[in-house]
Amino acid sequence: MSLAERWFVEAERRASSAIAPLLHRRHRRTLARGAVDEASVRRARDSWWRDALRWYPGGTPPRAHNRVTPLIDGDAFFGALHAALLEARSYVFITGWCLTPYVPLCRSEPEDLVRTRLLDVLTDAAQRLPARVLLWGGAPVLIHPTTRTMRGVAAVMNGRTGDLICRLDKTATRTHCHHQKSIVIDGQRAFVGGMDLTTFAGDRWDSNEHILRAGVNWHDVACSLEGEAVADVEHNFRQRWEAVTGDHGLPSNEPTVEPSWQTAVQVVRTIPRDRYDSQPDGEFGIHHSYLEAIRSARTFIYVETQYLWSPEIMDALSTVITTRDPASFRVVIVLPARATSGKWDNDQHIQRLRKVDAGRGIFEAYAPYASGPTTGESAFRYRPIYVHAKAAIIDDEWVTVGSANLNNRGMVTDSELNLVVRDATVARALRISLWSEHLGMAREEVERTSPVALIDSVWKARARANRRVSGEGVMPLESSVHRYEVGLRPGEFILDELETATFEH
């Protein structure tokens, strides 16, 4: 590194040291102002879930009777959504960050690219039922999607026949956004997760195989939800819709609950303060849920996230890494190798956790890659799969899936929506599916090996093998797992911190 580069890196380090505490103090005041009141805590103590600290005592309470189906990657998510929209009979409510009207929901046959376009499917549904879409209003300048872009999306959708109405939520501050992603159909089924109904910044449709393609490969996680908690996802839409439009006449159905549905689910949110009259101090259930789950972890923590730099989350992870037994406890975090508007910050925090681990073997971070034939001197090319998932699994019994990244925007300043699930069957099944995909292993192999043993043997071994393969350039990868590599470049801090303070998503 040249003298000029060393000077630049040192200047960035000093700037980060000065800026971070100021942002931390500001957000700490916001979280304190939006803390759960004592009346809510007392109600929680009298409830059926009073002994479980991992539930959030504010917002909507946990619901005991639900069925949750994880949907990994776009093929599974969009296919399930398409089928559900075709079966809709009463209403469809959608909340989103960004939406591409003509995104195809299915890709099995060439005609699917036209036959299953989102706007056409919604238009057909709107001939028999009300369809309501609530999107973020967009950024005023510089960052996409802009306000102009989102107005164009709304105009296209509102120009269709039938009872289809799209409105833009402009209540976010100029430097933040509405980031929730949910669909409610007939009051009976909801979809919640990280998946945007868009091709903006990357086509969200991808398969579990992540075959190398012209655009970026995309990894994401969502859930299909049935049962009591669907009403809480709908309540979130209804609150925001009424605040933005003044329309209090939306239809509503009580969810049908089957006796066999015994999965406990809580809908938790990040609602920034001073955005809605109904929550003037904000609501920070996602923040609470993550912290309690991390602090209570006994055997392992597994996280997939686009961004990792919430100060409180980092402190909680650092504490468990330094206090748990290295013989029996592990923390694994999966990130994109090059997060948009955030690699510098991700690098800093991965370095911090590796330093905290101090070679004890508790913590490691990974980034998935796709591979395929290429031209030139090498036979194969290797390119990062973009991790857009916002999911965590702890001890094979606690799960969260939603829209919130582990940064201040996800925890404090943008609107977000997550499901928290307490069910060992759901948790273990999701982990097995995710690890089978990343490790290139049969589900049965993942299922019969303990999580800690897999982390110590297969995760590390396959990351080493992939490093060797990608260095040689003559073979495809047998799995997607690579060790997350930090790569500081002079000047990245300035751009990342600017966007983190403004429009990072």
- How would residue 102 be classed by pLDDT, with cut points 50, 70 and 90? very high
pLDDT tens sequence across 467-495: 999 999 999 999 999 999 998 554 444 45
C-alpha triplet 321, 324, 326: angle, nearest 5°: 85
Residue 15, pLDDT > 90, answer no
Strand pairing report for 92-96 and 131-136: parallel
Confidence of residue 461 (pLDDT cuts 50, 70, 90): very high
pLDDT tens, 22-56? 555 568 888 887 788 888 888 888 888 875 667 99
Q: pLDDT-derived band of residue 249, with 50, 70 and 90 as boundaries?
A: very high
Q: What is the pLDDT of residue 470?
A: 93
Buried b (16+ CB within 10 A) or exposed e, 451-468: beebbeebbbebbeebee
Asked whether the predicted pLDDT for residue 193 surpasses 90, the reply is yes
Residue 2 in this model has a pLDDT that exceeds 70 = no
Cα–Cα distance measured from residue 485 to residue 75, given in angstroms and rounded to the nearest whole number = 29
Q: What is the pLDDT of residue 484?
A: 98
Task: Enumerate domains of the chain plus CATH numbers.
Answer: 66-262 (3.30.870.10)
Residue 503 banded pLDDT, cuts 50, 70, 90: very low
Separation CA 471–CA 480 (nearest Å): 14
User: pLDDT at position 353, please?
Assistant: 98
Q: Which of 34-48, 136-150, 336-350, 418-432 has the lowest mean pLDDT?
A: 34-48
Tokens at 213, concatenated:
């393609």
Over residues 65-94, the mean pLDDT reads: 98
State the pLDDT at residue 396. Answer: 98
Q: What is the mean pLDDT of residues 93-116?
A: 97
In sequence order, which residues have a C-beta less than 8 Å from that of residue 207 and are 6 or more positions away?
Answer: 73, 74, 75
Average pLDDT over residues 427-446: 98
Q: How far is residue 295's CA from residue 193's CA, in Å, rounded to a whole number?
A: 23
pLDDT at 1: 47
- Whole-number pLDDT of residue 53: 63
- Of 157, 194, 169, 248, the C-alpha closest to 77 is 194
209: tokens are 């195989």
What mean pLDDT comes out for the span 79-102?
98
Confidence of residue 498 (pLDDT cuts 50, 70, 90): low
Would you state the pLDDT for residue 22? 53
Question: What is the 8-class DSSP label of residue 197?
Answer: B
Percent of the chain with pLDDT over 90: 81
What does the pLDDT read at residue 36? Answer: 84
What is the pLDDT averaged over residues 289-301? 96
pLDDT value for 5: 46
Q: DSSP alpha helices (H): ranges in 88-209? A: 112-115, 118-126, 147-158
pLDDT confidence of residue 231: 98
Residue 286: pLDDT above 90?
yes
Mind listing the pLDDT tens digit for each residue in 139-168? 887 677 999 999 999 999 999 999 999 999
Say yes or no to pLDDT of 71 above 50: yes
Average pLDDT over every residue of 68-89: 98
Question: What is the rounded CA–CA span in Å between residue 414 and residue 275?
Answer: 10
Per-residue pLDDT tens over the stretch 352-370: 999 999 999 999 999 999 9
More confident residue, 291 or 35: 291
Q: Is the pLDDT score of 12 beyond 60?
A: no
Q: What is the pLDDT of residue 80?
A: 98
State the pLDDT confidence band at 505, using cuts at 50, 70 and 90.
Answer: very low
Average pLDDT, the chain: 91
User: Does the N-terminal peptide bond of residue 384 adopt cis geometry, omega within 30 degrees of 0?
Assistant: no
- Nearest partner of 125 among 162, 151, 153, 176, judged by Cα: 162
**Tokens found for residue 131:** 């369809």
pLDDT category at 120 given cuts 50, 70, 90 is: very high
Q: Tell me the average pLDDT across 185-207.
A: 97
